[in-house]
Amino acid sequence: MPKFSIKTKLIILVLITAIPVSLFNFYLLYHDLKHDKSVLKQSALHQSQMVSDEIDQAIFESYQHLSTFAEIPVIKNTRWQECSKFLSSLKSRYPYYENIFVADLNGWVRCSAVPFKKIVHAGDRSWFKEVIEKKQYAIGSVTIGRIVGKPVVVLAYPVMDHANNVTAVIAAALSLINVNAIFSHISHSPNTAILLIDQTGRIISSNIEPEEYVMKDISNTNWLQEIIKEKEETLTLQFMGEERLTAATKPKMVKWSSVVGIPTDIIYAPLKNYLIRSMFWSSIILALTLFTAILIGRYFSKPLSTLSMEIKEVGMGDFHRLVKIKTGDEIEELAMFSYRPNGTK
């Protein structure tokens, strides 16, 4: 069995004490990391659901707007000359519409809030055909508007006469560049990505560099495939130049996906700083503790070492040897017992 000096034993004792404390500290750090990650997961999921809810609300409000506009006399009575001027004044109240316009039964745009020089035909659009066929509110797919030349989603509603016949179609082009205004009030962490992605895998809206990302086809990207195939509510994915804690939900009124990606740096950076500070101060405390243990070890080991040597001399027959140790404790008493002036055993 190996033998250790008292000083060594004290150092080992300090280490044995310090290691569990350090491990417990790391456990608390891990627990904080797990808790913060869980909180951000719920936050990402909540924000994603809020975006989906806001989109549903915006589409429902568009339905209300268009159904109201369809009853306004200049539109209901197809007074085309007055119609464009009226729609132009109307559009200023709704900044997230790129345009509001009316098409006749043949699909020709007859009046528009945004002026157009060439005649525009909308009869081939899916939303127009659906309104004419079903006589109800319709939502088009993502496209480039023929009048505004920008990415939009057209929302359309039938203009009906008193006999319940469709006489025209009124439509609003929802801006995909400015659609962020719909959910701009949703609080989120810095550099959080908020995306709307349609059923074909195109980005409908992006709060990060919309001019670059809107209308971009990402259907073949790995991170979107992960969102599609995974059943988990949140995933850690790499996109838009950062690793992000990502949640995706779906609005009820359209076949889109609302994606919220929070940079994982938000989770790890504070904990990394805390870990560095914790390790720094733990190292300082451990070093001071070891230094103190060494001093204490020397304080005890020096007189004990002296006593050990003297006792060896006594054991070799030098019974008149005077052991001079002044510590004021049990070690000094033990030294006094080792001195036998009469040579007795």
Position 163 in a domain? yes
State the pairing for strand pair 166-175/193-197: unpaired
How much of the chain exceeds pLDDT 90, in percent? Answer: 26
Residues 317, 292, single domain; the answer is yes
pTM for the full model? 0.66
Instruction: Tell me phi and psi for residue 178, to 5 degrees.
Output: -105, 10
Position 25 in a domain? no
Q: What is the tens place of the pLDDT at every residue in 161-176? A: 988 999 999 999 988 7
Instruction: Tell me phi and psi for residue 26, to 5 degrees.
Output: -65, -35
DSSP state of 321: -
Q: Of the candidates 192, 196, 191, 229, which has an alpha carbon nearest to the alpha carbon of residue 213?
A: 196
Tokens of 132: 């004419």
Position 22 in a domain? no
Q: What is the tens place of the pLDDT at every residue in 174-224? A: 887 766 666 666 666 678 888 889 888 998 888 888 888 888 999 999 889
Domain boundary among 266, 288, 308: 266
Position 19 in a domain? no
Residues 39, 10, single domain; the answer is no
| Total number of residues shown for the chain | 345
Instruction: Give the Cα separation of 67 and 65 in Å (integer).
Output: 6
Position 307 in a domain? yes
Q: What is the mean predicted confidence (pLDDT) over 226-245? A: 82
Q: What is the pLDDT of residue 332?
A: 56
Instruction: Give the Cα separation of 238 and 257 in Å (integer).
Output: 17
Number of domains in the chain: 3
Q: Which residue has the higher pLDDT, 295 or 218?
A: 218
Instruction: Give the Cα separation of 219 and 226 in Å (integer).
Output: 11
Residues 330, 246, single domain; the answer is no
Q: What is the tens place of the pLDDT at every residue in 28-50? A: 666 666 776 777 788 888 888 98
Could you list the residue range(s) of the whole structural domain that residue 215 is in?
A: 31-60+183-266
Position 102 in a domain? yes
Q: What is the pLDDT of residue 120?
A: 93
